[in-house]
Amino acid sequence: MGSSHLRPPTAMAIRARLGFVILLLLFFSATLSAALYEDQVGLADWHHKYIGKVKHAVFHTQKTGRKRVVVSTEENVVASLDLRTGFIFWRNVLGKNDDIDQVDIALGKYVVTLSSGGSILRAWNLPDGQMIWESTLPVSTPSKSSLYVPANINVGKDNLILVFGGSSIHALSSMDGQIVWRKELSIDSLEIQQIFQPHDSDVINAVGFVGSSEFVVYHISYRTGEVMQQSKASFESGFCGEASLVFDNLVVALDASKSSLVSISFKNEVINFHQINLSDLVPDFSGKVTLLPLKFNGMLAIEIASSIHLLRVKGANELEFVEKISHPFAVSDALPLSKEQQAFAILQHEESKIHFKVKSDNDLRNEILKETIQMDSHRGNIEKVFINNYIRTDRTHGFRFLVVMEDHSLLLIQQGEIVWTREDGLASIVDSTTSELPVEKEGVSVAEVEHNLFEWLKGHLLKLKGTLMLASPDEVAAIQAIRLKSSEKNKMTRDHNGFRKLIIVLTRAGKVLALHTGDGRVVWSVLLPALRRSETCGNPFALRVYQWQVPHHHAMHENPSVLVVGRCGHGFDAPGIFSIVDSYTGKVQNSLMLEHSVSHIMPLPLTDSTEQRLHLIIDAKLQAHLYPKNSDSLKHFFNEMPNIYWYLVEVEKNKIRGYSLENKAELDTAEEYVFQAKELWSIVFPSESEKIAVTATRKMNEIVHTQAKVVADQDVMYKYISKNILFVATVAPKAAGEIGSATPEEALLYAYLIDTVSGRILHRVCHQGAQGPVHAVVSENWVVYHYFNLRAHRYEMSVIEIYDQSRADNKDVWKLVLGKHNLTVPVSSYSRPDVMVKSQSYFFTHSVKSMAVTATAKGITSKQLLIGTIGDQVLALDKRFLDPRRSVNPTQSEKEEGIIPLTDSLPIVPQSYITHSLQVEGLRSMVTIPAKLESTTLVFSYGVDLFFTRIAPSRTYDSLTEDFSYALLLITIVVLVAAIFVTWALSEKKELKEKWR
């Protein structure tokens, strides 16, 4: 479907279509953007909010009223969720490199987050998420740092929040974030492990290691930061740096060899060490050992060879083995039930069941609570659990479990039931593709809504009332409800306009989900077994998703499928992973571990006889592997092999190289599908003056309607349309950093247009005083790129359009229409192109996160640029604003053609934000999908949130709009017919009267 070999349109087609295009231009030159009315929100668009994989969670359930859980996530989101429903009360998305280290609640009303390696502490208002204060801590080296918020809330006393990491402790007022005291414990290489406060005392204890063998205890005044007591002792065999606080005066640490535990007791400046061999404690001890950070009195959890061992600490030298729990499991932090009692939860996975156990420190052998629930297998294993308790009516303790699963979803479990689920893996989409829905089968009923003519008419009458502003508020609500729940858009079959599709997304967790374009619901989801952590593949990594098989015509009964490509580890030489998933059911059809690595994936515009798309995988050794591996695909591939060219951009080496393919000399059967790369050309950018900032190409499946562009005075310009154009932007290495880091004199930006078959540079332009970040989009014969102009200190957008001069003789549109032209000469990369380039630059107000261009089924509709702004909105900007032929005073004929007078900056019309009053938090990418209806493009944008809508860049000229009033049309017809009869009767009467006269 997407494969379109470039072929000049025939004269007939041009003749027929040209008229249509001109007609369209005339009709729609006046309308620039199709804006939305407020009551149309939700008709064609949907917006889903997510938060990402939860790292920390703090419950807030003490007070009556709203019960919340405050979470921080890997997407740097801090959010407050409704504990009953899982809905987001509020959330704040922090910057990209502002990772949240810890989150807690202070004073019962502020959410405190520590971020950026322990250097920024912020407090947010618990009810609404408003930032209350922010404090920057002078941390010399970002290190693992922690937050200590004292739990005992003494009213009237200003509680201090302690932040510790490295060798420093900061105490901040929780009211306003002022640093009250700061203690730099002046010992080099001190690593504070834990801070704790014995009950009701004004002294805090800090324990840590100096170097690898010394243990230090500080007693510090809570109010002033004064060191009151300090003691240290060294242990010969050394520590590995992991320690767990068991009692107020006892720490258990792992020794340097990781084979024995050291219990360290400290009391009144006396530190005693006791070494206990792990093999004495644990029956069959072998493998890697880690201490789990479990803040639990009198207990210790150690992970040995992926199973967990619970140890009870009875005294300084007395440890007792309690229980062994095998993988997969999760252990929660300790939860104080009362002053003396603590509880913690152990979750254990057993196939599709999860066993929940809650134990208290009084009795480790038995459980307070034991529950088992069924869990869908497509969520994977449990990764994390947080527990919270509540008092039941019979005064016993009940527990809630907040569970983070392997697919990053978040669940709340209470009384053995899943209360709510959040599909938060969707906050980290890696790649997406689309699939058509199945064709409606005969016999299956068509929309039942409109079967009843009376109901249908009633609905339209109601709508008419709405347009005439005669409807009462109740009726308005009814109209809105009718429009929103129209079942039409959510059906699981293909529709005539091509609005209903499946968006298939791949998330970072290795999960593939199919979303329905009607309302964004998850149709199916599967956690790919190949992309799960296993013994053979310790660190799997999801890369891309492609259409693998799109059956049409003769193979309609077959389901389409998608190809998911992954990699086993982050290096380029790590072996690749393939998985083929059925697009309708989510069933994994095939999955294999590749022997070679995956550094570049090329879907070819070729299919084999079963309509499987051919893919070339380039590995790190520059060998090309053909998939699917069958003789049929090989046959098809050999036909096209001389025409296959590809290139690699090596950003680190500042090099672009073009290749073709050749057969391997030694052809043994196993390597039949492996081809050797043959280097054809290379472009090396001088590394002292240029650094590759961005590259962009046309979308593989973009469809161009016509090569000819009719300009004023019936002239024709020919677009230089080549699939092989690569846009490269390079910046001066000095100005490669952030905006404030370079002066205009040292900044330079070069834009190149390169033909990737011949390596010829078609065009090169230099922007003085410009720097990155550069965002670019290539479509048809033009490139639009966004960069920062340091001289004006504003963002700029430039457009480059390339025209084919070799066809310039066919200037006259009549020549084109009559067929006297040389358009049948194919466009070839081999011939030296005779191109003409036009360009222009404009200021643009905002920073840009991502850019895309609309795509329609036949490429007739004019284009819009989609600009993801720094405010996480998506702006649709008509391409006509980025037309190099714009001038300050366009002539009359240019005006008729639709050329907008030149302005120095691009207009930002608020109504042309396709996200209207919503934000796609953490926006990363926008995907455009053509609908069957030529005027319409589907837009799917994702980041932390998902947003989907459909837009019509030139308005929906090929269909009636949603709010077209059929009732008004009917009434008009009825009135007209009635009027005909009335006038007829009148004229009859008059005639009769005349006759009587």
Partner 1 sequence: MRSSAALFNPSPPLLLLLVPLLIFSHLLPCPLAADLRSGDGYTIAGRVKLGATSKESGLPAKLTNIKVILNGGQSIGFARADGYFSFHNVSAGTHLIEVAALGYFFSPVRVDISARNPGKIQAALTENRRVLYELILEPLREEQYYEKREPFSIMSLMKSPMGLMMGFMLLVMFVMPKLMENIDPEEMRRAQEEMRAQGVPSLSNLLPRSN
Pairing of strands 864-869, 848-853: antiparallel
Reference 73, options 90, 86, 61, 56; nearest CA is 56
How many angstroms separate the CA atoms of 654 and 690, rounded? 8
Stretch 35-64 residues interacting with partner 1 (CB under 8 A):
35-39, 41
Of the candidate residues 267, 533, 793, 815, the single one contacting partner 1 (CB under 8 A): 793
Q: Which is nearer to partner 1, 36 or 704 (CB)?
A: 36
Does position 642 interact with partner 1 (CB under 8 A)? The reply is no
Of the candidate residues 201, 539, 891, 987, the single one contacting partner 1 (CB under 8 A): 987
| Candidates 175-183, 196-204, 627-635, 661-669; binding stretch for partner 1 (CB under 8 A) | 175-183
Reference 730, options 808, 651, 797, 662; nearest CA is 651
Of the candidate residues 595, 917, 961, 964, the single one contacting partner 1 (CB under 8 A): 917
Question: Whole-number minimum distance, CB 959 to partner 1, in Å?
Answer: 17
| Candidates 314-322, 647-655, 880-888, 985-993; binding stretch for partner 1 (CB under 8 A) | 985-993
Does position 992 interact with partner 1 (CB under 8 A)? The reply is no
CA 200-202-206 angle, to 5 degrees, is 105
Interacting residues of 203 by C-beta distance below 8 A, sequence separation 6+: 197, 219, 220, 221, 222, 228
SS3 613: strand
Does position 333 interact with partner 1 (CB under 8 A)? The reply is no
How many angstroms separate the CA atoms of 380 and 328, rounded? 10
Q: CA torsion sign, 568 to 572 to 576 to 582? A: positive
Structure tokens at 747: 């900044």
Q: Which is nearer to partner 1, 128 or 417 (CB)?
A: 128
Structure tokens at 936: 């319409």
Stretch 453-492 residues interacting with partner 1 (CB under 8 A):
467-470
Question: Whole-number minimum distance, CB 892 to partner 1, in Å?
Answer: 27
Stretch 7-26 residues interacting with partner 1 (CB under 8 A):
none
Question: Whole-number minimum distance, CB 533 to partner 1, in Å?
Answer: 32
How many angstroms separate the CA atoms of 18 and 66, rounded? 63
The site map against partner 1 for 121-160 (x = CB under 8 A) is -x--x--xxxxxxxxx-x----------------------
| Candidates 273-281, 308-316, 348-356, 967-975; binding stretch for partner 1 (CB under 8 A) | 967-975
Structure tokens at 354: 């999860």
Q: What is the number of residues in the chain?
A: 997
Q: Which is nearer to partner 1, 79 or 677 (CB)?
A: 79
Peptide bond between residue 328 and the one before it cis (omega within 30 degrees of 0)? yes
Q: CA torsion sign, 652 to 656 to 660 to 664? A: negative
| Candidates 304-312, 473-481, 497-505, 863-871; binding stretch for partner 1 (CB under 8 A) | 863-871
Stretch 879-908 residues interacting with partner 1 (CB under 8 A):
905, 908
Does position 30 interact with partner 1 (CB under 8 A)? The reply is no
How many angstroms separate the CA atoms of 545 and 228, rounded? 61
Of the candidate residues 496, 629, 794, 815, the single one contacting partner 1 (CB under 8 A): 794
The site map against partner 1 for 840-859 (x = CB under 8 A) is -----xxx-x----------
Residue pair 377/354 in contact by the 8 Å Cβ criterion: no
Instruction: Point out which residues pair with 524 in neighbouring strands.
Output: 514
Q: Which is nearer to partner 1, 162 or 530 (CB)?
A: 162
The site map against partner 1 for 562-591 (x = CB under 8 A) is ------------------------------
Q: How far is CA 630 from CA 170, 610, 626, 836, in A?
A: 65, 11, 9, 45
Structure tokens at 380: 């994977």
Question: Whole-number minimum distance, CB 880 to partner 1, in Å?
Answer: 20
Residue pair 943/921 in contact by the 8 Å Cβ criterion: yes
SS3 399: strand
Structure tokens at 259: 């084979």
Reference 727, options 689, 681, 776, 770; nearest CA is 776
The site map against partner 1 for 200-219 (x = CB under 8 A) is --------------------
SS3 553: helix
Q: DSSP letter for 670, please.
A: G
Q: Which is nearer to partner 1, 718 or 788 (CB)?
A: 788
Q: How far is CA 569 from CA 205, 576, 615, in A?
A: 41, 9, 22
Question: Whole-number minimum distance, CB 252 to partner 1, in Å?
Answer: 38
Q: Which is nearer to partner 1, 257 or 845 (CB)?
A: 845
Of the candidate residues 792, 825, 960, 974, the single one contacting partner 1 (CB under 8 A): 792
Q: Which is nearer to partner 1, 133 or 546 (CB)?
A: 133
Q: Which is nearer to partner 1, 832 or 990 (CB)?
A: 990
Does position 98 interact with partner 1 (CB under 8 A)? The reply is yes
Stretch 712-741 residues interacting with partner 1 (CB under 8 A):
738-741
Neighbours of 722 (CB within 10 A): 21
Of the candidate residues 540, 773, 898, 943, the single one contacting partner 1 (CB under 8 A): 773
Stretch 289-318 residues interacting with partner 1 (CB under 8 A):
none
Does position 972 interact with partner 1 (CB under 8 A)? The reply is yes
SS3 803: strand
Write the secondary structure of 706-723 as one string of H (helix), E (strand) and C (coil).
Answer: CCEEEEHHHEEEEECCCC
Question: Whole-number minimum distance, CB 844 to partner 1, in Å?
Answer: 10
Q: Which is nearer to partner 1, 380 or 773 (CB)?
A: 773
Does position 413 interact with partner 1 (CB under 8 A)? The reply is no
| Candidates 195-203, 313-321, 855-863, 871-879; binding stretch for partner 1 (CB under 8 A) | 871-879
| Candidates 5-13, 192-200, 249-257, 790-798; binding stretch for partner 1 (CB under 8 A) | 790-798
Does position 978 interact with partner 1 (CB under 8 A)? The reply is no
Does position 390 interact with partner 1 (CB under 8 A)? The reply is no
Q: CA torsion sign, 105 to 106 to 110 to 113? A: negative
Does position 814 interact with partner 1 (CB under 8 A)? The reply is no
Side-chain-side CA neighbours of residue 893 (13 Å): 6
Question: Whole-number minimum distance, CB 984 to partner 1, in Å?
Answer: 5
Structure tokens at 338: 């009362």
Does position 645 interact with partner 1 (CB under 8 A)? The reply is no
Question: Whole-number minimum distance, CB 225 to partner 1, in Å?
Answer: 17
Does position 279 interact with partner 1 (CB under 8 A)? The reply is no
Question: Whole-number minimum distance, CB 774 to partner 1, in Å?
Answer: 11
Instruction: Point out which residues pair with 385 in neighbouring strands.
Output: 403
Reference 778, options 731, 726, 841; nearest CA is 726
| Candidates 9-17, 549-557, 669-677, 964-972; binding stretch for partner 1 (CB under 8 A) | 964-972
Q: Tell me, by CB under 8 A, how many residues bind partner 1.
A: 75
Q: DSSP letter for 860, please.
A: -
Of the candidate residues 96, 365, 441, 554, the single one contacting partner 1 (CB under 8 A): 96
Structure tokens at 800: 């480059």
Of the candidate residues 95, 287, 571, 826, the single one contacting partner 1 (CB under 8 A): 95
How many angstroms separate the CA atoms of 784 and 877, rounded? 12
Q: Which is nearer to partner 1, 227 or 969 (CB)?
A: 969
Does position 989 interact with partner 1 (CB under 8 A)? The reply is no
Question: Whole-number minimum distance, CB 697 to partner 1, in Å?
Answer: 24
Question: Whole-number minimum distance, CB 465 to partner 1, in Å?
Answer: 10
Interacting residues of 972 by C-beta distance below 8 A, sequence separation 6+: none
CA 485-490-493 angle, to 5 degrees, is 150
